[in-house]
Amino acid sequence: MTNATIQPVDPLSQFRLDGRVALVTGASSGLGRRFAQVLHAAGAEVVVTARRLERLHELSESDARFHAITSDLSDAHQGKLLVERVVEMCARVDIVVNNAGISDVGPAVDESVELFQRVLTFNLVAPFTIASAAAGWMLREDVRGSIINIASSLGLVGVGSIPEAGYAASKGGLVNLTRELAAQWASDGIRVNAIAPGFFPTDLTAEMFEDDRGREWLRRRTPMKRGGEPHELDGALLFLASDASSYMTGQVVVVDGGWTAV
């Protein structure tokens, strides 16, 4: 009888992103900025993009593994050009985080068709064009990549008391777009998943978090009795971006303090 050699197990190693290139949209502030920093800390080379280039420079000038590109995703054609620039700059793209988004708070009966279309273009069409362009490159180069769409709990349920029809429609569309793209590309090793955050402090939710009535409403409506903190999305992001989720695609990870559970 021989003694079997026990191989050491390091479960944290599968979360490392060394040698990979990540693109994060809407990275000038809020959750996007945090996402970029988390991927960078895990070893990735990170390309950050947004309309406000001066804010991106704060990241890109801090470390050579950060790169800044300005983009305006209200133009649906910018997505393909953005991916092309990332590949030109870094020679590859392994991870895409479609985070950029805009809102349209207000009653649906007062919302113009133009605003509704603008929100859908920014929140749904742009992520599609970016994902499609990135997947096209991955397929040509035989790269097993990960695409992460940042959806929302408002893409899973209706709220009503926070009226924003375009935002809800775009995030609901992004949820099922995630599933469809995952099904199309799974056999080629490209994974597509989504994170659906609840209420976190961002530019879009600043008024809620700064207002006493807003914070009380959030406390009453959320089973965990509070909004989220940006670091509470770190685990979901790293899980989906890394090999830790290598057998997972087409899924929506909801991080909302129990909002959609009740």
| Pair 123, 151: CB distance under 8 Å | no
Query: Which residue numbers are catalytic?
Result: 167
User: CA-CA distance, 172 to 175, in Å (whole number)?
Assistant: 5
User: CA-CA distance, 80 to 132, in Å (whole number)?
Assistant: 8
**H-state helical runs in 52-146:** 53-60, 78-90, 113-120, 126-141
User: CA-CA distance, 164 to 37, in Å (whole number)?
Assistant: 30
**Residue 149 DSSP one-character state:** E
Length of the chain: 262
One-letter identity of residue 30:
G
User: CA-CA distance, 36 to 58, in Å (whole number)?
Assistant: 12
